Amino acid sequence: MRAEIKSLATYVPPRLLTNADLEKLVDTSNEWIMQRTGIRERHIVDPGVATSDLATEAARQAIERAGLTPPDIDLIIVGTVTPDMLFPSTACLVQHKIGASRAWGFDLSAACSAFTYSLTVGSQMVTAGAVKNALVIGADVMSSIIDYTDRSTCVLFGDGAGAVVVAPASEDGFGILDFEHHVDGSGGPALCMPAGGSRMPASHDTVDQRLHYVKQEGATVFKFAVTKTGEMCERLLSRNNLTANDIDLFVSHQANRRIIMSAAERLGLPEEKVVINIESFGNTTAATIPLALNDAINSGRIKKGDRVLLASVGAGFTVGAVLMRWGI
Ligand code: UT7
């Protein structure tokens, strides 16, 4: 039995942070940001709004679009690096808010690969027959861990959420066909939030040193992302006796337009098969792939029977790719 995505919904907070706004905060320019990243604006939350709030909006709509009600959900996985708090998990908060009275669940920490990882775990639980309806969410409030005095990171990130309902595929040959995941833990220092965990609990000192914010060696992550995305997708395609010609749509994590285009070029995928919406959302970490899938659906770029390739690289380093045949 295969599992498939039955429905998808997304949510972004209404408030916009544009490149012009950032020009007033740090020494940067619209030209630099557009040229080096492809980002024009991002959505960020108002104070007091947390990841479970965005996740709940997306989840409610995804459940409704699947023709289900919250008690039909058996499992909730929330991929996030910005949980409302360290515990209880955001999955527990979402379970309560939406009234998914029968569901169990947990958070999955894989940074920008959280959606591909969560989709794989959720779909495998369905495939194994352990659960029928899994709610898989990617949600992050990156603005809560971004240093808006650091121009090398603050221009990159935004907030958002995406949710899918995963359930047994209704037709043969549709749904999640295969996946490929890796970890390269040696990459940890290149992208991390140093304080706030057990290694460096929050103290006046850690706050004074601004250690509760994202720290990134951009060029190191960039190189790893381009190489690994290509390698991982090639392996996944060849294992399934497919080539780039057989892929209808490439939906990658949206960290940088140049990373996505370099990876697509390496794979031999023409621009018309590549979804890029980073311009309007920035890097929303766990939410980028559902946000990109949502745009592809709304613009009619994805239809039933299409072979869709998802790919992501994130902090860890974590790496993920999922191959599916779109069934809705
Ligand atoms: O999703 C999680 C994974 N994250 C990623 O995939 C991000 C991967 N990395 C990247 O996307 C890119 O490395 C960045 C967009 C972060 C940076 O682009 P880059 O082309 O690698 O720039 P750079 O870090 O090599 O910096 C080039 C120059 C530097 O100035 P100097 O040293 O050449 O004088 C930076 O100080 O650009 C400068 N710079 C900026 N200038 C204007 C860095 N940030 C900014 C900025 N505005 N916001």
- Please work out whether the CB of residue 55 comes within 6 Å of at least one atom of ligand 1: no
| Placement of tokens 């890097």 in the chain | 283
The reported pLDDT for the residue numbered 214 is 98
Distance 14 CA to ligand 1 centre (A): 27
Q: CA separation (Å) from 44 to 14, 148, 171, 204?
A: 7, 12, 39, 26
> Which domains does the chain show, CATH number per domain?
3-168 (3.40.47.10), 175-325 (3.40.47.10)
Query: Could you give the CA distance from residue 180 to residue 229 in angstroms, rounded to a whole number?
Result: 11
Distance 30 CA to ligand 1 centre (A): 13
Strand-pairing partners, residue 43, are 16
Q: Which candidate, 112, 120, 45, 111, places its Cα nearest to that of 77?
A: 120
The reported pLDDT for the residue numbered 313 is 98
Instruction: Encode pLDDT of 288-325 as tens digits.
Output: 999 999 999 999 999 999 999 999 999 999 999 999 99
Q: What residue owns the CA closest to ligand 1's atom 39?
A: 152
Query: Could you give the CA distance from residue 249 to residue 237 in angstroms, rounded to a whole number?
Result: 13
| Placement of tokens 């959606």 in the chain | 115
For residue 294, the surrounding DSSP H or E stretch is helix 288-298
**Mean pLDDT of all residues in 275-297:** 98
292: left (phi over 0), alpha (psi -120 to 50) or beta: alpha
- Please work out whether the CB of residue 37 comes within 6 Å of at least one atom of ligand 1: yes
Query: Could you give the CA distance from residue 220 to residue 209 in angstroms, rounded to a whole number?
Result: 23
- Please work out whether the CB of residue 19 comes within 6 Å of at least one atom of ligand 1: no
What share of the chain in percent tops pLDDT 70?
Answer: 100
Catalytic residue at 253? yes
Strands 318-325, 175-183: pairing kind:
antiparallel
Q: CA separation (Å) from 2 to 62, 67, 121, 175, 250?
A: 20, 20, 13, 6, 21
The reported pLDDT for the residue numbered 48 is 97
- Please work out whether the CB of residue 225 comes within 6 Å of at least one atom of ligand 1: yes
Q: What residue owns the CA closest to ligand 1's atom 43?
A: 152
Catalytic residue at 204? no
Cβ-based neighbours of 203, under 8 Å, separated by 6 or more: none
Question: pTM of the predicted model, to two decimals?
Answer: 0.97
Query: Could you give the CA distance from residue 214 to residue 142 in angstroms, rounded to a whole number?
Result: 9
- Please work out whether the CB of residue 154 comes within 6 Å of at least one atom of ligand 1: no
